[in-house]
Structure 1
Amino acid sequence: MKIERLHHIAIICSDYERSKRFYTEILGFTIENEVYRQERDSYKLDLSLNGQYLIELFSFPNPPQRPSRPEATGLRHIAFGVNNVEAAVACLQSKNIVVEPIRMDEFTDRRFTFFSDPDNLPIEIYELR
């Protein structure tokens, strides 16, 4: 098998409208497609960033909680590359998003930090240059 690239990340949210606003209005994703699947009582929202399809956002009635802190087995976090971590932090903070202090990756000498989505999924922003 030869994997070419990451196709998408699927996220189940507890409050569809709140998460839809977060990923589109706060993080700047573009809605590619939105469907309501009546048989599942579930929305599926396809989101892209800079023309690349990246996230499927799902809603389901009463999804169980999945611990992300303390760190648990499974998906640890998602990370997005930015050109300027400080500018990204300032943008997030201007939208009342709590952001951890900026840290330095000791192996790459690149700056990064974390914040959370509405369901406490950890999201990293990592400086590209």
Structure 2
Amino acid sequence: MQLASLHHAAIICSDYARSKDFYTRILGLRVVAENLRAERQSYKLDLALADGSQIELFSFPSPPPRPSRPEACGLRHLAFAVVDLDSNMASLQADGVAVEPVRVDEFTGRRFTFFADPDGLPLELYEMNP
């Protein structure tokens, strides 16, 4: 088997309008498609990053909370590659998003930080070489 790349990650949100605003306005993801699935009382919003990878944002009525802390088994976080960590952190902070202090990856020497989406999903900014 030879996997080519990550196509998408799917996220279920508790407040569709709030999460749509966060992922489009604050994170700057481009809307590819938005569909109401009336039979499921659910929206499906396809969002694209600059490299073509996507996030599918779903809404469902009253989704159960997913444990995140202490560390639960399963997907831990989503990481976004950035060229300039400091400017991206400043942009998040200007929009009122709390950002953790910068850490350094002990194996690569690259800087990174964490923040959360409106439902507390851990998101990471990982600085790549320019």
* TM-score > 0.5, shorter chain as reference: yes
The percent identity for this pair of structures is 61
Are 1:119 and 2:111 counterparts? no
Deviation at 1:53, TM superposition (A): 3.6
Residues in 1 aligned to 2:68 and 2:98: alpha-carbon distance in whole angstroms: 17
Residue 68 of structure 2 corresponds to which residue in structure 1?
68
The answer for the alignment partner of 1:109 in structure 2 is: 109
Contact 2:6/2:53, CA 8 A, preserved across alignment: no
Once residues 78 and 113 of structure 2 are traced to their aligned partners in structure 1, the CA distance between those partners, rounded to angstroms, is 12
Instruction: Within 5 Å, give how 1:1-129 maps onto structure 2.
Output: 1-50=1-50, 52-129=52-129
Asked if 1 retains the 8 angstrom alpha-carbon contact of 2:78 and 2:123, the reply is: yes
Q: State the 1:45 CA deviation.
A: 0.1
C-alpha distance in 2 between matches for 1:98 and 1:2:
38
- Unpaired runs of at least 5, structure 1: none
| TM-score of the aligned structures, taking structure 1 as reference length | 0.97
Q: Which runs of 5+ in 2 are unaligned?
A: none
Cα offset for 1:51?
Answer: 5.3
Residue deviations 1:98-128 (CA, integer Å, cap 9, x gap): 0000011111010000000000000000000
RMSD of the TM alignment (CA)? 0.8
1-structure distance, mates of 2:91, 2:23: 14
| C-alpha distance in structure 1 between counterparts of 2:33 and 2:77, whole Å | 24
Aligned residues: 129
